[in-house]
Structure 1
Amino acid sequence: MRLARLATNALIEEAHVTPKPALVDRRGSGAHRDLSLAVMERSAFSLEPTFVALSRASQGKRPSAVLRAELAAIGRDGEAAMMSATQGSNAHRGAIWIVGLLVAGATICAYDERAVAHHAEAICTTAAQIACFPDHGAPLAQSNGSRVRARYGVGGARREAQEGFPHVLHAGLPALRTARQRRVGENAARIDALLAIMATLDDTCLLHRAGLDALDAAKSGARETLSLGGSATPSGRAALERLETRLLKLNASPGGAADLLAATLFIDGLAPVRADGRTPAWSI
């Protein structure tokens, strides 16, 4: 299905954006000893059947507790497949939740005539409605994310989804499109989109690995890079290098922001173009 392929490609494209501060990219593994570009690609490809299943389960449905439970079960199966493909490395656990919900939202919106004109907002709102239902099948054991949320009082990926993906709609997408309007190259535009997300995101990946020092470094470094013109300018690139050096010293990487960059690329690829005058292209 086209939606599943777009989701998979968004994960791969995010991994290839280079240079990303302390994240896996074409240069190397960043702050991740157990990950590489090849592992990220294997992980992404292993998730395409999961995205297919999420889309199929959402066809003709509306957000509900029943749909939430079905999608959660599919997502857990997808996580197991990912962990098998990566030999136990967590490459895309957060992305299964973030991008998977958007796949479901896009599937539902493909059959809603009212959603076509404002597809990004409609998809994110629909995905948020799904996320707001409880997952009664969730494991009882605490995850890294849940421990970080409790310790630091942040919302993490769960709240990001429940609030309608504000860092996709109001940070990633605007930064990406503004950079393109300035005729910045696509790779640099995507870096700037990542930095715009990092500038305000309470990234639980950073908090888990190195606490508030890492989060403060990421936010301030991202804001500095953007204030100097972004990653396409000499001064911006120098600031980006300083940011990466500091995060590597802390052994921390903005994995939550990377997941939201992938979500941004997924939504950006879903232009509301009608192939036959009636059906949005993303329904195929």
Structure 2
Amino acid sequence: MSNSPDETLAQAAVIALIGQLALAPKPGLPDPRDLGARATGQDHSSLRWSAKALKPGLVAMAAAARRTGSATPGLRAELGAIGRSTEHSVGLAGGGHQGALWVLGLLVAAAALEPRATGRDVAATARRLAAHPDRKAPRRPSRGSSVSAKYGAPGARGEARAGFPHVRRALDALATARSAGAPEPHARLDALLTVMSTLQDTELLYTAGPHGLRHVQAGARGVLEAGGTSTEAGRAALAAFDDDLHARAWSPRGSSGLLAGALFLDSPPGSPVGVSSPARIA
């Protein structure tokens, strides 16, 4: 039996998130080397397991959007309620992915509202959704919102309300790297570094402050300026950057969720989001 459109979108989002997890080396971020090779805050296998726990919530978000039919304040409130319930479920499965859930949840809902749209149009619809306040959200400030207020960073909500500019930058980086003949894993790593080079990551601001954020942005730019991860010089720069971030215990987690969003939107030209070619979701 074929999946429903909502299940197809949710599965595509989970595959995108697992595809992001599979990349290595990811500077300061969990990757397959964590399976016994080194100690990190979360085991890579538990992150893969908890990524799959996102699917029921993402299916519910897609179904809510399809039922509502437009980017209304009521839909925004429903998505927020589903997201909070999904966070609880994911916590029981090992935790993680809060940032990715925010990104993928809005994009999945937007894709359900515009079933024939391609990536950039879906991001524009997500922008209209994010423009509505979540009136049922808890009143207490989150760590991300507190850091955003302290440093003037857009944060996750600002990124969504701007139409996910870093997701769009990652899509451009993927296209550029592929056109230059880069293998798919290197194209995806270059896209991650492109996001990392300019994102005002509130997690980094919290743990490392503005100086640490600038240090990470400069390190990511250095890898790209060395030729990217498909070149020998770029790979050497990436290895040094990775060692540096792990030694400092700095994790640019915001970039990984945005890359997952880009991989979700990354479909063949003219194809609806959620109908990706197998080569792009391996």
Q: TM-score, normalised by structure 2?
A: 0.90
Deviation at 1:152, TM superposition (A): 1.0
Counting matched residue pairs gives 267
* Structure 1 gap segments, 5+ residues each: 274-279
State yes or no: 1:135 paired with 2:134: yes
CA displacement, residues 4-24 of structure 1 (integer Å, 9 cap, x when unaligned): 100011110100111100100
Instruction: Kindly provide the amino acid, as one letter, of the partner of residue 222 in structure 2.
Output: E
**Cα distance change of structure 1 residues 8 and 32 upon mapping to structure 2, 3 Å threshold:** farther
Could you tell me whether the CA contact under 8 Å between 1:22 and 1:253 is conserved in 2? yes
Name the counterpart of 2:279.
Answer: none
2:265 to 260, 264, 267: 267
Q: Is the 8 A contact 2:197 2:216 kept in 1?
A: yes
Q: 1:124 to 1:262 in 2, by over 3 A?
A: same
Q: Does 1:77 align with 2:85?
A: yes
Aligned partner of 2:4 in structure 1 is none
Q: Which amino acid aligns with 1:14?
A: Q
Q: Do structure 1's residue 244 and structure 2's residue 252 form an aligned pair?
A: no
1:3 aligns with 2:9: yes
C-alpha contact 1:149 1:204 (8 A) present in aligned 2: yes
Unaligned runs of 5+ in 2: 1-6, 276-282
Q: Secondary structure at the match of 1:9?
A: helix
Structure-2 residue corresponding to 1:179: 177
Q: Is contact 1:270-1:282 (8 Å) kept? A: no
Q: Indicate if the aligned counterparts of 1:206 and 1:214 stay in contact, CA closer than 8 A.
A: yes
SS in 2 for 1:272: coil
Q: TM-score of the superposition, structure 1-length normalised?
A: 0.89
Q: Does the CA contact (< 8 Å) of 1:203 and 1:255 recur in 2?
A: yes
Partner of 1:20: 26
Per-residue deviation at 1:151? 1.5
Q: Which amino acid aligns with 2:218?
A: S
Shift of 1:250: 2.4
2:222 pairs with 1:216:
no
Once the 2 structures are TM-superposed, how far is the Cα of residue 32 of structure 1 from its aligned partner? 7.6
Match of 1:68 among 76, 101, 109: 76
Q: What amino acid is aligned across from residue 110 of structure 1 in structure 2?
A: P
Instruction: Work out the percentage of aligned pairs sharing the same amino acid.
Output: 41
Residue 105 (1) aligns with residue 113 (2)? no
SS in 1 for 2:163: coil
User: 1:49 aligned to 2:48?
Assistant: no
- What letter is aligned with 1:85? A
